[in-house]
Structure 1
Amino acid sequence: MLHIEKYAAVDIGSNAIRLLVASVIEQEGKDTLFKKTSLVRVPIRLGADVFLEGEISETNAARMVDAMQAFKLLVKTHNIVRFRACATSAMREAKNGAAIAENIENETGLKINIIDGNDEAAIIASTDLKSLIQDNKVFLYVDVGGGSTEFTIFADGHTVASRSFKLGTVRLINDMVEDTMWEQVEQWIKENTKEYTKVSMIGSGGNINHIYKNSGVKLGKPLSYFFLANYFELIRNYSYEERITELNMNPDRADVIIPATRIYLSAMKWGKAKNCYVPKIGLSDGIIKSLYNEKIAEKTSKVF
């Protein structure tokens, strides 16, 4: 007997806003399945406002209201039973972030939770990676966003370290990252992986998903450091326009793909990882999982 419900999660990032709709399928005596039903992405680059001007522009604030109104209709149409929207780096750093979140709730009825970097890393770490994270292996999980990158070390089947850094693709293309930030990330990765002889990387985010989709690598197999290094050199030799017309990238992907690849490559180098697995799991997946965990906790509390 199956029990099926639909959950929805909104990830308000520095580069884009995403709505994920997932079917949560409970099976008696088996693990619960989380099946992605729909993903809608709107490229409102909030980070370009915030990291340069310190606040979200009136134009993009209005676009956010429109996007959330559209998401509200989709949530209603899908008969969603549990919903949560989380905003990350751009919204939490914007001087008017809280005011805009309040206005969106007044206009649409949808509450936006502005979370800090540690919460973001924890939500991402809660995603179901059982198929990859095994007790006898060590993984460096790297989730690259527009405003920040979250790093998590998994060893012996559990999280041993996690941290968020203001090293994001939108910051990088606007030349807003000091060399000291790269040095801090390098030091953190080396310090937290030095005791392990073999580390693999798990890459998360739209850019690594794009690379993996177009890599020709068999589904489930990892990308090698050698492949990523060659890919990095390839895309650097194309202009922004050529990446759109010849490499078939979306305009809002064609500029951030280079700094994103640099972050992944650097993380692999500092962690001495030879392979990068790409399970297509990110913040929105973590939100869905956390909503389900809350449901289970509610049921348990009622029993006791």
Structure 2
Amino acid sequence: MRLAAIDIGSNAARLLINDITTYKDGSLDFTKVNLVRVPLRLGFDVFEMGLISDQKIQDILEMIRAFKHLMKVYKVEDYRACATSAMRDAGNSAFILERILAETGIRIEVISGSMEAQILYETHMAETLDTSNAYLYIDVGGGSTELTFTTNNKVVTRQSFNIGTIRILKDQVSEDNWDELKTFVKTQVRSALPIVAIGSGGNINKIFSLSKRKPGKPLSLESLKEYYKEMHPLSVAERMHRYGFREDRADVIVPALQVYISVMRWAGIQDVFVPQIGLADGIIRTMYQSRLKNSLMLR
């Protein structure tokens, strides 16, 4: 089965195409066929003006047409398109979504922060990890941060916060926002078991790649602090030159580190695993489970 996910975030949009096959032992393999990332940067419009500009609307339309063409070329059987924080906050989002549907036939669903956290959890990142630990899923995006706390592979609590990298860059995160996040972590993220973090999002993925750690090995809180200390004084151009970052990564990676470090410090967490799985992966997995459930009901 070949499925696709479109994830329209505050910093970038992605099209992920996966093949889903069943191995001889009954396990499922989700194999990436293609991943396309477009730095739309909707948050720079929305978090400053409250709207998505006409130019950005044209960019979205061109991108969706391209994604539709790619899905046709790759013979995708089904897709789900989701938009997150920037589209949630945009005053003209309903108009934009209606126009996209009318001009391309692609229906985009604006999902809540809670739903975003739930879909991320559905990537089952912790399935292969030690059940003697509790886990805090941390996803830092351009517009929001999603936290999901689990023990024994069961969700204890989840919450979405309007603290994202672009909001921080635009000085749109208040002390009250930070206090809300801090209070949640200190009061809700508690366990008799040791707590380990699981990080998702493009910024933590990039830090993991820079670290050259082997897959399955965690990043320490101390290493994140060192990267922050190293990168924070540099200009965007200097980060681009020194690390080979694109501009749309060089400006947001430092505020992302700030969020990860703060959450881990408040929770007393020393390590974060980075499975390099994101919202698009979760969208495909939830789609597959939904299709499987519907097919069983029709039998």
TM over 0.5: yes
Retained in 1: the 8 A contact 2:127–2:153? no
What secondary structure is seen at the aligned counterpart in 1 of 2:185?
Answer: helix
Residue-by-residue CA offset, 1:121-180 (whole Å, 9 max, x unaligned): 111111122444443210110000000010000111211110000000000000000011
Q: Structure 1 residue 79: deviation in Å?
A: 0.5
Query: What is the aligned partner in structure 2 of residue 294 from structure 1?
Result: 290
Matched residues in 2 for 1:165 and 1:132: separation? 28
Query: What is the aligned partner in structure 1 of residue 163 from structure 2?
Result: 167
Segments of 5+ residues of structure 2 without an aligned counterpart are none
Query: What is the aligned partner in structure 2 of residue 49 from structure 1?
Result: 45
127-136 vs 215-224, greater mean Cα deviation: 127-136
59-68 vs 20-29, greater mean Cα deviation: 20-29
Query: What is the aligned partner in structure 1 of residue 97 from structure 2?
Result: 101
What secondary structure is seen at the aligned counterpart in 1 of 2:211?
Answer: coil
Closer, same or farther: CA 264–280 of 1 in aligned 2, 3 Å: same
1:207 is matched by which residue type in structure 2? Answer: N
Q: Structure 1 residue 35: deviation in Å?
A: 1.1
2:68 matches 1:72: yes
Retained in 2: the 8 A contact 1:133–1:139? no
Query: What is the aligned partner in structure 2 of residue 177 from structure 1?
Result: 173
Query: What is the aligned partner in structure 1 of residue 204 from structure 2?
Result: 208
Retained in 1: the 8 A contact 2:8–2:82? yes
Retained in 2: the 8 A contact 1:11–1:18? yes
Matched residues in 2 for 1:150 and 1:64: separation? 24
112-121 vs 127-136, greater mean Cα deviation: 127-136
Query: What is the aligned partner in structure 2 of residue 193 from structure 1?
Result: 189
The equivalent position to 2:264 in structure 1, one of 268, 273, 289, is 268
TM-score (norm 1): 0.96
Query: What is the aligned partner in structure 1 of residue 273 from structure 2?
Result: 277
1:38 is matched by which residue type in structure 2? Answer: N
Matched residues in 2 for 1:179 and 1:228: separation? 23
Query: What is the aligned partner in structure 2 of residue 122 from structure 1?
Result: 118
Residue-by-residue CA offset, 1:21-66 (whole Å, 9 max, x unaligned): 1111123541111111211000011011111111100000000000
Retained in 1: the 8 A contact 2:126–2:135? no
What secondary structure is seen at the aligned counterpart in 1 of 2:109?
Answer: strand
TM-score (norm 2): 0.97
232-241 vs 161-170, greater mean Cα deviation: 232-241
Retained in 2: the 8 A contact 1:134–1:157? no
1:120 is matched by which residue type in structure 2? Answer: E
2:214 matches 1:218: yes
Q: Structure 1 residue 193: deviation in Å?
A: 2.1
2:233 is matched by which residue type in structure 1? Answer: N
Structural RMSD (CA): 1.1
2:141 is matched by which residue type in structure 1? Answer: G
126-135 vs 91-100, greater mean Cα deviation: 126-135
What secondary structure is seen at the aligned counterpart in 1 of 2:257?
Answer: helix
Retained in 1: the 8 A contact 2:133–2:193? no
Matched residues in 1 for 2:43 and 2:263: separation? 23
2:93 is matched by which residue type in structure 1? Answer: G
Segments of 5+ residues of structure 1 without an aligned counterpart are none
191-200 vs 88-97, greater mean Cα deviation: 191-200
Matched residues in 2 for 1:298 and 1:28: separation? 23
Matched residues in 2 for 1:171 and 1:58: separation? 21
Number of residue pairs the alignment of both structures matches: 299
Q: Structure 1 residue 191: deviation in Å?
A: 1.0
The equivalent position to 2:27 in structure 1, one of 31, 49, 55, is 31
Closer, same or farther: CA 106–87 of 1 in aligned 2, 3 Å: same
Matched residues in 2 for 1:293 and 1:272: separation? 35
2:84 matches 1:88: yes
What secondary structure is seen at the aligned counterpart in 2 of 1:63?
Answer: helix
Matched residues in 1 for 2:74 and 2:6: separation? 14
What secondary structure is seen at the aligned counterpart in 2 of 1:214?
Answer: helix
Retained in 1: the 8 A contact 2:215–2:275? no
